[in-house]
């Protein structure tokens, strides 16, 4: 998968050299290109922002550098077009289902806004020639899109074939399409079996795989009810297993 990231802070993306995604890049599974938006400015101060029309606080990112940047990264007359992602708190919620959908794409472009956002005409213009999604990570405000892009790239990158070892199956993850779609995972344990007078639940040491699966699902239901009640109330009844019960 190819990723192009346009930002005024290329240094934010150093973490993409590290850990799982660093390894995926070195293995050739992920081809990441980070671009400095200021390369598409033409004034001495390399200006990327200006005051908002209509007044109000803060600054808005100017459309011209963004237009040139997107035309260069994804030329309008090229045979292939990428999918453009614009992180913004006013976007649609980013979900595991969207991560899975994006993992099937060949080419993603990310536009990182700062300040009060990017002049709206940039997204309108881009929509005339590529698929564009404005996405939000949740109901809070970050200082810019860079950290949101790191989050999205990690969520998508770990789903690419070959990135995770087989042992880390994605099907059991919280929110995984299927049985875990509206559930969060329960607690996990490792050795030693007793630590500070706290025992690992007997069932996990039993070797009874059916009982272990049942216990894990009960714990996922319990934890979802406690921490994410809004997920449980819209749990699709078709996704309930016939042995699920009040826990």
Interface with ligand 6GU by CB under 6 A: which residues? 87-89, 135-138, 140-142, 144-145, 148
The reply, when asked if residue 84 is annotated as ligand binding, is: no
Closer to ligand 6GU by Cβ: residue 142 or 203 = 142
Beta-sheet strands, E only, within 77-217:
83-93, 107-111, 131-136, 194-195, 198-199
The minimum distance between CB 176 and ligand 6GU, in angstroms, equals 22
**Beta-strand relationship, 131-136 and 83-93:** parallel
Residue 188: count other Cβ atoms within 10 Å of its Cβ: 8
Active-site annotation holds for 89: yes
The minimum distance between CB 190 and ligand 6GU, in angstroms, equals 33
Closer to ligand 6GU by Cβ: residue 144 or 217 = 144
Catalytic residue, chosen from 2, 38, 46, 158, is 158
CA angle centred on 68, ends 65 and 73, rounded to 5°: 120
Closer to ligand 6GU by Cβ: residue 141 or 233 = 141
Active-site annotation holds for 46: no
The reply, when asked if residue 6 is annotated as ligand binding, is: no
Active-site annotation holds for 116: yes
**Beta-strand relationship, 198-199 and 194-195:** antiparallel
Residues designated catalytic: 89, 116, 158, 173
């Amino acid at each position: 998968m190819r990723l192009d990231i346009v930002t005024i802070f290329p240094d934010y993306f150093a973490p993409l050299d590290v850990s799982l995604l660093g390894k995926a890049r070195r293995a050739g599974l992920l081809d990441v290109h980070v671009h400095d938006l200021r390369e598409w400015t033409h004034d001495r101060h390399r200006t990327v922002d200006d005051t908002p029309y209509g007044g109000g606080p803060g600054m808005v990112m100017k459309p011209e550098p963004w237009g040139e940047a997107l035309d260069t990264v994804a030329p309008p007359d090229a045979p292939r077009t990428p999918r453009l992602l614009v992180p913004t708190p006013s976007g649609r919620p980013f979900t595991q289902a969207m991560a899975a959908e994006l993992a099937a794409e060949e080419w993603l472009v990310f536009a990182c806004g700062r300040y009060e956002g990017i002049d709206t005409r940039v997204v309108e213009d881009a929509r005339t020639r590529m698929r564009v999604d404005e996405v939000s990570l949740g109901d809070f405000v970050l200082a810019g899109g860079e950290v949101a892009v790191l989050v999205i790239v990690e969520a998508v990158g770990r789903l690419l074939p070959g990135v995770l070892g087989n042992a880390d199956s994605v099907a059991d993850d919280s929110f995984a399409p299927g049985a875990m779609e509206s559930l969060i995972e329960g607690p996990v344990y490792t050795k030693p079996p007793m630590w500070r007078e706290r025992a690992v639940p007997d069932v996990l040491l039993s070797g009874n795989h059916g009982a272990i699966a049942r216990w894990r699902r009960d714990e996922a239901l319990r934890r979802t009810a406690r921490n994410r009640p809004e997920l449980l109330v819209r749990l699709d009844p078709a996704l309930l297993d016939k042995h699920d019960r009040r826990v």
